[in-house]
Chains A and B, each alone.
Chain A
Amino acid sequence: MDMQVAKKKLGLKERYAVMTRGLDWKPSYQKMEDIYPYIAYEGIKIHDWDKWEDPFRLTMDAYWKYQSEKERKLYSVLDAYVQSNGHLNVTDARYLNTVKLFISGISPLEYVAHRGFAHAGRQFPGPGPRVACLMQSLDEIRHAQTQVHAVSNYNKYYNGMHDFHHAHDRVWFLSVPKSFFDDAITAGPFEFMVSIGFSFEYVLTNLLFVPFVSGAAYNGDMGTMTFGFSAQSDEARHMTLGLEVIKFILQQDPANVPIVQRWIDKWTWRGYRVLTLVAMMMDYMLPKRTMSWKEAWEVYFEQNGGALFKDLARYGIKMPDCAAQIALEKDHLSHQAWSTFYNYGAATNFHSWMPDEDEMAWLSAKYPNSFDKHYRPRYEFWREQAAKGNRFYNKTLPMLCQTCQIPLVFTEPGDPTKICYREVDYKEDKYHFCSDHCKKIFEDEPEKYVQAWLPVHQIYQGNCFPEGTDPTVEGFDPLAAVLKYYHLEHGRDNLDFEGSEDQKNFEAWHGQATKNI
C-alpha cells in the first residue's frame, strides 16, 4: 500500500466517532447486565445508544490544551489578587457573606457532581454519553477545587469559612443544598442526568452563576469573578450534554416520556427551592445589586426556559406545573428567605443585617407589588428594635419540610399573609411539607424521603452536640452546644454584621490601605 496516497482527512464528526464510539465493543465474556447493572431499574428504555448525538466533539488532546489555558489564566489572576490584597477592593465587607454562603453551600455540591458524573459515566453503556459524562466529572472537580483555592485567601482574613466541609455536612440550612445533591446522586443514572444534567445545568444554572458571577464583578471581587467565569466556560458543554440527554431519552421510546416528565417536574421544583439562597443573595447580600431575583427569574427561566419547553413540546414534554406557583412566589421568595436568616442569625456561619434606607428603596422599586406592603413594615420594626438593643434572634427551632428541608416559612400561593403547611401520614408518622410540590415528591417516593437527615429533628434527638455533651445538666444551653458541633464560634462567625469582627477588620485594613496613618 502506498502511504503517500493522501488519506481523506476526516471531518470533526467522523473523527470524533472513531475516537469515541469506535473504541467500544459488545462484550461476550461477561453479560451486559453484569457490566452495566444499574441501567434497567428506572424503567427507561434505550434501543440504540448510537443514536446519541455528540454536541461538542472534544477529544482529550484538545481538552487538555484548552483547559490548561483556562487554568493558567485563572491561577495567575488569583495569585495577583492575593499579592495585592484584592479582598480590600470589594464594595463592603457585607459582600463577603455571599462568599461564605457559596463555599459552604455550593462548592461541596460541585464535588458531588464530580462523583455523580463519574458514576453515571461508568454506568451508561453508550460511549457517547459516557465520554461526555466523564469529561463533566473531570470539570466538576475543577470547579470544586478552583472555588476552594479562590476562597482560600478570604478564609485567611474573614470568619465563617474556616471549616466549610464540616459545616456542609452539619449546619441546618446547608442540609437544603446537601439533600438536593444527595437526592440526585442516590437516584438512578438516568434520573441523575435529568436532575443535574438537564434541570440543574440547563434550566437553572444560569440563575445560579450569571447573577452570582456578575454580582462578584459588580462588587469588586475579581477572584470570584474569575473562577466563576472560568467555570462557566465549561458550563456550555454541560448544558449541551443535559439537553442532548433529554432529547435522546425521549426519542428512544414513547414510554420514557411520562417518566422524564415526572423527573423534570420534581427537579425543577427541587432546584428552585435551593435557589432560594441565590434569590436572597441577589436581593439582600450583594451591596451593589446587579438585577433582582425576580428579573433574573424572568430572563433566565420564563423567557429562556419558555423557549426550551416550547422546543421540547414535540416530544410530549410540557412546562412543569410548578412554574405557575414559582411565578406567584417571585415577588416574595427572597424577602421571606432573608427574614428567616435574619431570625436565625445566631445559628449561621455568616452575618445577617437589615437593609439600609437606600436598599429598601431599591427593593420597593423592584418589588412594587409586595415589598412596601408586606416586608418593609416588618424590617422597620426589626430595625427599631435592634436600635434599642433588642436585635431579634429566634431561638425556637422551626418545623422543616421533609423534602426540601427549608423551614416552613413560605406563604400560600396567592396569599402572602398565610404560612403554607401540608402534611402526609405515612406508616406510623406524620410528615410536613412547605408546598404541594414538595408533598407530591414525597408521595411519589416515600421510602426515600423518610430517610432524610432533618437538622431540627436531629438536634431534638440530641445528635448535634459534641461528643460527651450532657443535655440534662443545669443551665444546658442547646444553641451553644449545637454551635460547637458546627465548629462555629459564637459572636464571631454568627450574629449581626453590625459589630462583627469582619466589619471591624475590614474597616481598619481598608483605612490602613487608603490613609497615611
Chain B
Amino acid sequence: MQIDLQTIAIKPLRHTFDNIARRIGADKPATRYQEGTLDMQQEANYHYRPTWDPDHLIYDRARTVIKMADWYSFKDPRQFYYGAYTMARAKQQDTAEANFDFVESRGLAANLPEEVRDTVLKLLVPLRHVAWGSNMNNAAVCAYGYGTGFSQPHIYHSMDQLGIAQYLTRVGLLLGGVDVLDEAKTAWMEDDTWQGLRRFVEDSMVLKDPFELFVVQNVVLDGLLYPLVYETIIDDVLSAKGGTSVAMLTQFMTDWFAETKKWADATVKTAAAESDENKAILTKWITEWRDRAAAALVPVARIALGDRTDELVGEVVQQFNARMAKAGVAL
C-alpha cells in the first residue's frame, strides 16, 4: 500500500537526539555531521582495561598531555562524516583519473624533458613511503585519540594518505614501471638524501601521545612537505621546465593539502585557545619537530632545487610559521 502523505503534517515529538540537543543548546534539527559525530564514542562504564595498555581505559583522555574541558570542541570545518567524505574524494578521484588518462593518452609522459622525468622519479616516487608512514600514524591517532570530533578526521586522513601513496605509485608506473619503484625504495632505504626523512618518519611511529603524533605528522611534516614538493617544486619549478603534465598527475595532492590544512589549522587553534598550558606544549612540539623536518627535507629538495634549495626551503618554513601564528601558535 502506498500512502500519499503530501498533505498531512505531523508534528514531531523532538527534532534531534537529546545528546545533540544538549550540545547545540536546543532541540532543533541537527546536521548529519553533528548526529554522526557528537558523542559517538562511548564515555562511561567501560567493562575491562585493555590488555595491551592496562594503564589506560579503552578511550582515555590521559593518553595525551593536551587537556581539553570538552573534546568535542574539535570540529571539522569540512563537516566530514563518512558520506560527505567519500563523495568529496570520489569527485577528486574522477578528476585525477581524467588527468592520468589525459597524460597517458596523449603520450605526455613520454614527452617530458629527460631532466624533469628524472627529477620526478627521484623525488616523487620515494615519497610514497612517507605517505605510507602517515597512513600508519593517522591510524594510531584515530585509534588512541579521545572523542570522535578529534579521532574521526584521522581515519579519513589515514586512508587519504594510502590513496596518495597509491597515486605516487601510479606516477612511478606511468613514468617508469615497476623497476623505478624498486629503485626508489632502495634510495629510501640507503641513499643519504633520504635518511634524515626516513629517520624522522620512523621516530614518529614510536610516539605514544596521539595529539603529539597529529602535530608531528599532519601539522609539521605535511605542513612543510606539501608546500615544498607540490607547490614550490612541481607547480613552479618543474612546470617552468616543461613539466606541466606532472602537475596534472599530482593535482589530487595539491587540492588535498589545501583542503586538509584548514582542518589541521582549526584543530591546532582549538587546542591552543583552550589554555596557556596547551599553547606552551604545542609551541614546543611544533618548534622542535619543525626544525628536524626542515633539516630532513633539505637534501630531498636539493634533488629538484639545486642551488636554490636553502632559499626556497627557508621560504616554506617562513610561510609555515605565519600559518601557525594565524592558528594561535607563535613560533
Q: Check whether chain A touches chain B (CB < 8 angstroms).
A: yes
Q: Does A65 reach chain B (CB closer than 8 Å)?
A: yes
Q: What residues of chain A lie closer than 8 Å to B18, measured between beta carbons?
A: 162-163, 166, 487
Q: Does B61 reach chain A (CB closer than 8 Å)?
A: no
CB atoms of B82 and A142 under 8 A apart: yes
* CB-contacts of A125-162 with B (<8 A): 127, 130-131, 134-135, 137-138, 141-142, 144-146, 148-149, 152, 155-159, 161-162
Q: Which of B37-45, B259-267, B284-292 contacts A (4 or more CB under 8 A)?
A: B37-45
Q: Which of B137-145, B221-229, B233-241, B273-281 contacts A (4 or more CB under 8 A)?
A: B137-145
Q: Does B69 reach chain A (CB closer than 8 Å)?
A: no
CB atoms of A145 and B82 under 8 A apart: yes
Q: What residues of chain A lie closer than 8 Å to B97, measured between beta carbons?
A: 61
Residue of A nearest to B168 (CB): A23
CB atoms of B48 and A152 under 8 A apart: no
Residue of B nearest to A505 (CB): B13
Q: Does A111 reach chain B (CB closer than 8 Å)?
A: yes
The complex places the Cα of A425 from the Cα of B202 at a distance, in Å, of 48
In the assembled complex, the CB of A28 is this many whole angstroms from the nearest CB of chain B, namely: 8
CB atoms of A18 and B169 under 8 A apart: yes
CB atoms of B139 and A122 under 8 A apart: yes
Which residue in A60, A61, A138, A449 is a CB contact (below 8 Å) of B155? A138
The complex places the Cα of A10 from the Cα of B185 at a distance, in Å, of 19
Task: Please count how many residues in chain B sit with their CB below 8 Å of the partner chain's CB atoms.
Answer: 87
Q: Which of A45-53, A259-267, A506-514 contacts B (4 or more CB under 8 A)?
A: A506-514
Q: Does A24 reach chain B (CB closer than 8 Å)?
A: yes
Residue of A nearest to B54 (CB): A186
Known: A84-B5, A115-B151. A25 touches B129 (CB 8 A): yes
Q: What residues of chain B lie closer than 8 Å to A7, measured between beta carbons?
A: 173, 177
In the assembled complex, the CB of B138 is this many whole angstroms from the nearest CB of chain A, namely: 9
Q: Which of B85-93, B303-311, B319-327 contacts A (4 or more CB under 8 A)?
A: B85-93
Which residue in B128, B142, B205 is a CB contact (below 8 Å) of A27? B205
* CB-contacts of B1-41 with A (<8 A): 1-3, 5-6, 8, 10, 12-19, 32, 35-36, 39-41
Which residue in B136, B167, B176 is a CB contact (below 8 Å) of A130? B136
The complex places the Cα of A14 from the Cα of B41 at a distance, in Å, of 38
The complex places the Cα of A89 from the Cα of B140 at a distance, in Å, of 44
Q: Does B67 reach chain A (CB closer than 8 Å)?
A: no
Known: A179-B47, A186-B48. A64 touches B86 (CB 8 A): yes
Q: What residues of chain B lie closer than 8 Å to A75, measured between beta carbons?
A: 83
CB atoms of A88 and B3 under 8 A apart: yes
* CB-contacts of A177-195 with B (<8 A): 178-179, 182-183, 185-189
Q: Does A386 reach chain B (CB closer than 8 Å)?
A: no
CB atoms of B93 and A88 under 8 A apart: no
Q: When each residue 60-97 of chain B gets 1 if its CB lies under 8 Å from chain A and 0 otherwise, what string results? A: 00000000000000000000011100110110010011
Q: Does B189 reach chain A (CB closer than 8 Å)?
A: yes
In the assembled complex, the CB of B161 is this many whole angstroms from the nearest CB of chain A, namely: 9
Q: What residues of chain B lie closer than 8 Å to A162, measured between beta carbons?
A: 14, 17-18
Known: A18-B178, A27-B205, A141-B82. A165 touches B87 (CB 8 A): no
Chain A interface, >50% SS class? helix
CB atoms of A71 and B48 under 8 A apart: no
The complex places the Cα of A158 from the Cα of B181 at a distance, in Å, of 57
Which residue in A88, A156, A451 is a CB contact (below 8 Å) of B49? A451
Q: What residues of chain B lie closer than 8 Å to A34, measured between beta carbons?
A: 206
Q: Does B232 reach chain A (CB closer than 8 Å)?
A: no
CB atoms of B32 and A22 under 8 A apart: no
Q: What residues of chain A lie closer than 8 Å to B43, measured between beta carbons?
A: 165, 169
Chain B interface, >50% SS class? helix
Q: What residues of chain B lie closer than 8 Å to A24, measured between beta carbons?
A: 132
What band does the interface of chain A fall in when counting residues whose beta carbon is under 8 Å from B?
Answer: 35 or more
CB atoms of B178 and A187 under 8 A apart: no
Q: Does A411 reach chain B (CB closer than 8 Å)?
A: no
Residue of A nearest to B165 (CB): A23
CB atoms of A67 and B86 under 8 A apart: yes
CB atoms of A65 and B42 under 8 A apart: no
Which residue in B129, B131, B136, B160 is a CB contact (below 8 Å) of A122? B136
CB atoms of A137 and B86 under 8 A apart: no
Q: What residues of chain B lie closer than 8 Å to A168, measured between beta carbons?
A: 42
Q: Does B299 reach chain A (CB closer than 8 Å)?
A: no
CB atoms of A134 and B51 under 8 A apart: no
CB atoms of A22 and B163 under 8 A apart: no
Q: What residues of chain A lie closer than 8 Å to B59, measured between beta carbons?
A: 115
Which residue in B41, B82, B129, B173 is a CB contact (below 8 Å) of A115? B41
CB atoms of B82 and A71 under 8 A apart: yes
The complex places the Cα of A115 from the Cα of B144 at a distance, in Å, of 8
The complex places the Cα of A59 from the Cα of B167 at a distance, in Å, of 10
Which residue in B40, B140, B178, B189 is a CB contact (below 8 Å) of A25? B189
Output the residue of A72, A122, A182, A509 with the most chain B CB within 10 A: A122
Residue of B nearest to A74 (CB): B83
Besides A134-B162, A453-B46, 5 more A-B contacts (Cβ < 8 Å) are A19-B166, A60-B162, A75-B83, A127-B132, A145-B36
Q: What 8 pairs across the A-B complex have the smallest Cβ distances?
A: A3-B110, A68-B90, A60-B163, A145-B36, A156-B12, A23-B132, A119-B143, A118-B143
Listed by A's residue number, 11 A-B pairs whose Cβ atoms lie within 8 Å are A28-B189, A61-B166, A64-B86, A84-B5, A119-B144, A127-B132, A142-B82, A145-B36, A163-B18, A182-B58, A513-B3
